[in-house]
Structures are given as C-alpha cells and as structure tokens.
Amino acid sequence: MTKQVRQLDRVIIRFAGDSGDGMQLTGDRFTQETAAFGNDLSTLPNFPAEIRAPAGTLPGVSSFQLHFADHDILTPGDAPNVLVAMNPAALKANVGDLPRGADLILNTDEFTKRALAKVGYAANPLEDGSLGEYRVHSLPLTSMTVKALEDFDISKKDAERAKNMFALGLLSWLYHRPTDATVRFLEVKFAKKPEIMKANIAAFQAGWNYGETTESFSVSYEVKPATLPPGLYRNISGNMALAFGLIAASVRSGLPLFLGSYPITPASDILHELSKHKRFGVRTFQAEDEIAAVGAALGASFGGALGVTTTSGPGVSLKSETVGLAMATELPLVVIDVQRAGPSTGMPTKTEQADLLQALYGRNGESPVPVVAPSTPSDCFAVAIEAARIAVKYRTPVMLLSDGYLANGSEPWQVPEVDSLPEIEPAFAEAGEEDFQPFKRDPETLARPWAVPGTPGLEHRIGGIEKADGSGNISYDPNNHDLMVRLRQAKIDGIARDIAPLTVDDPSGEARVLVLGWGGTYGAITAAVRRIRAAGGTVAQAHLRHLNPFPANLEEVLHSYDKVVVPEINLGQLALILRGRFLVDVIGYNRVRGLPFKAEELADVIRDVINS
Amino acid sequence: MSDPLALVPKDPERQTAKDFKTDQEVRWCPGCGDYAILAAVQGFLPELGLKRENVVFVSGIGCSSRFPYYMNTYGFHSIHGRAPAIATGLASSRPDLSVWVVTGDGDALSIGGNHLIHSLRRNVNLKILLFNNRIYGLTKGQYSPTSEVGKITKSTPLGSLDSPFNPISLAIGAEASFVARTIDSDRKHLQSVLREAATHNGTALVEIYQNCNIFNDDAFAPLKDPQTRDDVTVRLEHGEPIVFGADRDKALRRSASGPLEVVPADSPDILVHDARNPDPSLAFALSRLDSPTFEHTPIGIFRQVERPSYDELMRAQIDEAIAQHGAGDLTALLGSGDTWRID
C-alpha cells in the first residue's frame, strides 16, 4: 500500500502520559531524531515534581512538547498539532490546549471505566462525541506492544513498559524521522539487559511497521530540513549548555573549574554533567547544604580556581550571605540560579523569572553584583562564559539567571570554534611586588589584585569586615567605609563600559513601541514580534543579557520610543527597576503560571499597545 | 600513610615564631586565652618549616576567628560558621597548601555545626582548632552550645535549659579520623597536639579549652590550678597505660557493665590507651569521662586513625580519568553527542 506523503513547514507534537510512562525519554528521542534530520526545533518538557505521582491522576501527568520546522523557529509552540495521550488523565490535562482539527493519538487500553472515573470523566470521551473536533486515532497501544513482544522472554510488565517505544516508532514513521540513533541509544541504555533491549527495539520497530500498514493513518508527513548556516550542529539543553560553557571558561582562562553544589530542581543536571568531565580537571563537590556549596566554591576561588555554584531560587536565599562575602572580599565567583516558580518551595519543576530582585538586591548592605541572563537554551553557553569573564576580570561574584524552561528545553546549536571563544585573563598578582596592597585597585577596572596562596611575599588576610582602602586592614573609619561602599559600586557600574550596547531590532526604523525582555522569554517575544510584522505591524524589540549593570545605551533606547512593553514571568521586577532608574512609564505584561509565554498571547498584548 | 604535607613546599630558611607575626595590633581582651594559643601556634609553625605563603588560616566569626589577622600567612576571615566549608574548597583544590581552620564553640558547634560534622566525615585535609570557652564572647556573654546546663547569662537569666555538646564525642560520632583536646595554658601539650594534627592525613579536630576571662572566667579552673590540675587531668598517650592523679595512683578500667571506671593504678586490667584503634568505642568512652566538676578530664589525642583524605581521593579520580582517556579536549567535547553537519 502506498500512502500519501504530505509536506508541512512545521509541526508541534506533545507526548503525554503518566510520570512513569517514559514520556520525557520518548520526547528526548524524538527530539534527537529530529535534530539529526536537520529541522530547527524547540522543546518544552513539563513534568510534576513527584517522581512517581499516583498513577492515572491529573497531577501525575508528564508531558513533552516539541516544535520542529523547515525554518528557524523560536519557541516550543503555542498549541500542539498532535497530542499523544497514553491515558485518560493525559487526555484530560492536555486536550484543552489543542486547536480544532488537531490529531489525537490515544492509547485506548487505558481508557477503562476505573481510569476514566479517576480523573472525573462521567462518560468515555472516545464514545460520547466530545472529541468530535479532532482527528482521533484510537489505538490499543499497550496490547499491541504486548502482542508484538510475546516471543520475548520478559515479564508482561516489562512488555507493557515498552509501549512508549511503540508510540515513538509510530510517530517516527508518521514524520519520516531517522531511526538509527534511537536503536543505538536503546542498545547502550539496556546493554546490561539484552532481552529488554531487544524487546524495546522490537516495540519501536513494531510501532513504525504499524504506521506503515494500518489504515488508521492514511497520510504521513514530511518536514524538510531547515536551512541553517553551514557548520556542525548538535541539540543542546540549557543546563547542558551551561555546563559546557563553564568548562569552556575554565579552558579559556586556564583556571581549574571547581563546582560546589547541592542537588536542587531544576539545576541538578549541571552538577551531573560537570561531574562527568574530570578529564578537564573539573572538581565537583556535592556539599552538605547550599551554604557549604557556595562556601567551598568561594574557598576554591580564593585559591585561584574558577569557583562556581549552581542552584535554584531557594538555594540562592541560603547562599546570600556568602555571595555578600564574595562581594566584600572581591573574589571571582559564578552563582547560577536556574529559576523556578516560587516563593518558597513553589513549583520546583515549573519555570519563572521572579528571582531578579533577589539576584540584584538579596544581600545585606550595599552589595552590588553583576547579573546576566541567557535568552535561549543554547545561549546559556555564551552567557556562562560571559559570567566567568566578568567574575574573573572584576574580581566579583556574578549571578547568572537561567530558568526551568531554558534548563530543560533544547534547540539545535551550532558548535562554535574554540578559537572564537573569548579569552579570559586571570592576571594573578605576581611575586616580587614591593609593599603589596591587596585592595589597591586597577585604575581602569577598579578590580583589586587576585593574589593566591602560594605566591611568596603577597601573604595577606581578607574577610567580611570593612577594609581600609588599599591595605585591606580592618577599618572602622567612617569616611573609609563611605569610600569603599562607593568604590565597590563604581567597580560594578563601570562594567557597563565593557559590555556590548543594547541592540534594537527595528527593521523599518519607524516603530513607536518597543518590546523589552530579558532571559528565557526571548523566543516567545521574538515569535510574537515576527507575527505582528508579518501582519504589517511595526514594533521594535530588544532583549537584555546584562541586568546589572545595564548596557550604557539603555536609557537612550528607552527614551527613543513612545511606549515600552516589558513582558516578564513575574509581577514586574524589571519594570520596577526601569521605572525607578529611568523614569520611564513602562507597560508590564506579567503572568506567573509556571509556563513560558505563548507567542500569540504576547502578540495580542503588543498589538493592543500599538493600537491604543 | 599519605603525608598531607608532601606536596607543600618547604622553606629552605630556618623560621622563627617572629616570621609568623603580622604588624596588626592584637585586639583580644587583656588576659584572654587566645593570646597563649596564638603564641603557641606561631611558636610551633617553624617546626613544620613550610613556606609561609603555602599556609592558610581560615576562620568564621567570633573572638577566635580574628586569629588569621595575626598570622603572617594567607588568611581568610569569613562568615559565621562557614569556615570549614570555605576551607574545604580551598584544601580540596590546592594540595600544596597547609590549611588551618580557627573556630570557636559557637561558630563550630552552633551556627556551623553542619559544616563541622560533614568535614569530619569527609576527611578533608583541614586542621581545625576549636577554641572552646563555653560562652559567646564577641556578642557579649550569651550561653553557648558547650555551656553547662543551668548557665546564667544575659540571655538565660534563669539558667540555660539545653544540654551541651561534648565536642570530642560529637567529632568521634561524626567519623572523625583525628580528635584531640588540649588547653591554652599548657603550651608544651598544645604544641605536641598541633604536631600530630599537622601531619595527620585528613581532618584533625583539636579542641582547645580556652579561658574567657571576661564572660566565663575560670571555666576550666580545676585543670589549671596547680593545686588540682595534676589530680584531675587524665593525659592520654598512645600505647601508655592511662594512669593519672597527683600521685599517679589512679587508672581507668572498663567496668563489667561497659562504662569506664576509675580504679587504683595497681589494679589488674587497667586500660592502655590506643588512639589508633579503628574501633572508636574506647575513644568515645574516654570522651564521656568529662564531668561538670572536672574530676577526671582527659586531654591528649583520643583518636588518630588512617583513612584516605577527601582531597587525595578527588585528585585520584581526576588523575585516573586523564590516565584512562587523556586530558580533556574542548573541541571534542563541544562536538560530542549526536551531531550533524550543514554544508
């Protein structure tokens, strides 16, 4: 039977099931296949904090959304074209996001009376007509998988667990994905359980074959590779890019990398990744708590390492005093906050941007620290290097604000040439200096010398107590304190001379409305701006990588537009600062749902401002 | 046994205590026990003969934590309770340093208790000097986690309610590989303990009974008073029978029910001290001899056992990874995983 092949320019698929159904793995594999095929892509994993929430319940639903296209895309997509729902809970939790006409692939084996009742379905949605506006593909995924695996010497439970691979095989057929890498992946993953390995590969192939033979799918789809600039590519998540960026900063500075960390969602993967790279001399230290994690990193910095600590918002709260110490002792330190929904424990697996004020101000005393934020998963690489560059050059802690969306989301990344990466010069103080003064500053950067233990003749003592300008001896002199507070501030402010000016994307040059964002909202804002322009609208866009200090031209940019819209996944933290600093009446758009913005909602907001 | 100082460069010049003094005025209260400890440490370090620039003192907050300012080495006066954490990062990334932590009973056992126990179990190469004066000095006289129950202070006018820690028992319970106690007024003993601590591989905890003459004067009087000290001090010497008393007429023995009991020195089966015993139960039992009245207080090294240090294990994993797979190559790393090329 020859089936029809239809061309699409982009597709959004969401895999949804129980936390134990392997939806994240399925999504990851489909993503890898898609990346290898050469599409542009963006992903949104969405899962509960509970490792195995009660089966079949709404809180237990785990999903993975993937947007892929034959052109450059920016977000994981607003609404899925295809939903794979492994049980009634997955259907109920996700069906509301589907546009009319979307494809629904349902595992009918799980649509039992009990399972339906568990999530409050009075009638079976497969039978009551409530799914009429979708193209429903009712498939007994579990029993087909079990049947396909009946010749294998594995338990029924193990056979049932392979249903995600059956689904992956079916979707791989439906969208013409290459399958070799998934087979290789399964061979490695189950190398120690050969029977399970063979069964999973068989389930994957059975899913593919089912697609080819069933009448349930009469059409398959092709999405041509995207035309991206030439080069070597890989798919990368934000957390992976941060880990790679830190290693690159270590290599480019010649400073050994020391990571002090305490496990916390959604930052732990950075610790996991870095702990694999001991060949780079990376030391990873899983501390007894957040405070020890940053303390050890600072101690390593004192000894001449690139000290880094990784955490999320609650961890930053605990580290605050030590960041203050790093600021006061003027030692390099990189503090990575992978923001999650707060306050307090909040929603650990959900994204948010509400730690900006904590990063900027969450310490006692006048305690300015540079703050940087990546805008996309792959941008985490460059921003990690930038954080290290500033920390080392200016002898200061630097806060890097990633978020849960960037951390777990992924996109294709053009692998950079190592020689193109910034060089970082530690410029340690050297032996032989007469009358060494640990707080004598570089006249240009105001950075103090970094004199590490082991350097003869530069023995000195530092600490959190106020220091005399120059000598660094303890000083309670009123005017000295005033001077030191101002010097520390001036040092951080001066970094503005050392960062790129804010670039504004305003192709027509006639926009009266500027959309200004920061951090992980870049993709959604840019997609919204493109939609408005595609419909003939005019809008300018700029995105801040440096939140402290701001680029030197920010004030000028803000005053160049009649209206400035600032979308943030918080209640207006950047907006507060912009208003306070620049007296600009910015228009905030703020939602804190634990999810990234959708392009369409932002387009609506911006359109309203343009038209008002 | 690994020598923790093997990689620390030695000074070819002969050093004296003066080499370790800074130009900073020492600002402890006149009569404070800290002066004696400072002099003892400055007097001892030349013995090690390490290059001064390879010695680091890290402290937290409190009277004792001012110590680094007076040592002409590298020094880091950090924040309350966190010195072991900061020193852990330093010591585990710099095998060419001799890293010392100076802390007090509040700093180490109250706000920093977590870091103390974890550095002990980890066995990082740190030498922790815990100045125990059983009071909060710098905040002017509140009771501390080593103050006796019922202590009347500014914050406990009717007497403190909570039981104190015994730092030695705590350290042994935290899997410490080296645990000792000494006293500020006995320089010879203090230096003999420092000598063993400095060359111990891993974390060494040295509790130093230290008199705060302002807020808790004479806290250890029975151990210092020439009239009583010889009678109540139980000196622990590895391999020696534990005999004490002014007339050396008392000894220790395990009672049938378990705890140690004081018996005449000529009794059969008196205890011989064994600090190197892998089993910590004897060291623990000795730590329980302490009493509020100091009738028999052990000083010396309770426990001194061999165990790999965290930093050497960490180093070994890196060396092993490089030996097996070669040093890291950034180009290869960035281009690893599933990649594709667009021409």
Cα dihedral A222→A226→A227→A229 (10° resolution): -150
Beta-bridge partners for A513: A563
The distance of B215 to chain A (nearest Cα, Å) reads 24
Residue of A250, A279, A467 to mutate for B, most B C-beta atoms under 10 A: A279
B-facing residues of A in 575-604 (CB < 8 A) are none
Binary contact (A299, B51; C-beta < 8 A): no
d(CA A539, CA A593): 26
Residue of A41, A72, A179, A288 to mutate for B, most B C-beta atoms under 10 A: A288
Contacts of B97 in chain A (CB under 8 A): 303, 453-454
Q: Is the pLDDT of residue B1 over 60?
A: no
d(CA B120, CA B173): 10
d(CA B279, CA B328): 42
Binary contact (B97, A36; C-beta < 8 A): no
Cβ B5 vs Cβ B48: under 8 Å: yes
- The DSSP secondary-structure symbol of B141 reads S
A568 — phi, psi (to 5°)? -145, 145
- Tell me which residue of B44, B36, B46, B82 sits closest to B62, measured CA to CA: B82
The distance of B208 to chain A (nearest Cα, Å) reads 23
- Tell me which residue of A158, A127, A135, A23 sits closest to A85, measured CA to CA: A23
Decide if A183 touches B, using CB distance below 8 A: no
Measured between CB atoms, which of B74, B91, B118 is closest to A460?
A: B74
pLDDT at B169: 98
pLDDT at A53: 81
Phi-psi region of A212 (alpha: psi -120 to 50; beta: other; left: phi over 0): alpha
Helix extents (H) in chain B: 33-48, 83-93, 105-106, 113-122, 167-173, 187-198, 221-224, 229-232, 281-287, 310-325, 330-334
pLDDT at A1: 53
Decide if A72 touches B, using CB distance below 8 A: no
- Sheet with A513-518, strands from edge to edge, namely A540-544, A513-518, A563-568, A587-590
Binary contact (B88, A289; C-beta < 8 A): no
**Which two structure tokens, joined as six digits, stand for A536?**
């003939």
- Residue B240 neighbours by CB distance under 10 Å: 13
d(CA A256, CA A279): 11
Residue type at position B169: S
Binary contact (A297, B56; C-beta < 8 A): no
Contacts of A324 in chain B (CB under 8 A): 79
Nearest residue in A to B117, CA atom: A288
Q: What is the mean pLDDT of the segment spanning B295-322?
A: 97
- Antiparallel, parallel or unpaired: β A10-18 and A82-85: parallel
Dihedral (CA of B113, B114, B119, B122) sign: positive
Q: Which ipTM score applies to this complex?
A: 0.98
Nearest residue in B to A431, CA atom: B53
Contacts of B330 in chain A (CB under 8 A): 247-248, 251, 280, 418
d(CA A422, CA B1): 44
The distance of A190 to chain B (nearest Cα, Å) reads 18
Binary contact (B96, A461; C-beta < 8 A): no
Decide if A438 touches B, using CB distance below 8 A: no
Is B26 strand, coil or helix?
coil
Is the pTM higher than 0.80? The answer reads yes
d(CA A163, CA A161): 5
Binary contact (B85, A292; C-beta < 8 A): yes
Binary contact (B118, A455; C-beta < 8 A): no
B-facing residues of A in 241-260 (CB < 8 A) are 244, 247-248, 251, 256, 258, 260
Distances (CA, A) of B79 to A329, B84, B111, B113, B212: 11, 11, 10, 14, 21
Block mean pLDDT (10 aa), chain A, length 612: 86 94 94 92 90 88 96 94 96 96 96 95 94 95 96 94 96 94 94 95 96 90 92 96 98 98 98 98 98 98 98 98 98 98 96 98 98 98 98 98 97 96 97 91 98 97 97 97 98 98 97 98 97 96 98 98 98 98 98 96 98 94
pLDDT at B318: 98
Question: How many residues does the structure list for chain B?
Answer: 343
Binary contact (A455, B53; C-beta < 8 A): yes
Q: Given the structure tokens 């304190």, which residue do they identify? A: A481
Binary contact (A303, B342; C-beta < 8 A): no
Q: Is the pLDDT of residue B121 over 70?
A: yes
Contacts of A35 in chain B (CB under 8 A): 338, 340
For A418-433, letters b (16+ CB in 10 Å) and e give beebeebeeeebeeee
Task: Write the DSSP string, B43-55.
Answer: HHHHHHTB-GGGE
Contacts of A71 in chain B (CB under 8 A): none
Residue type at position A23: M
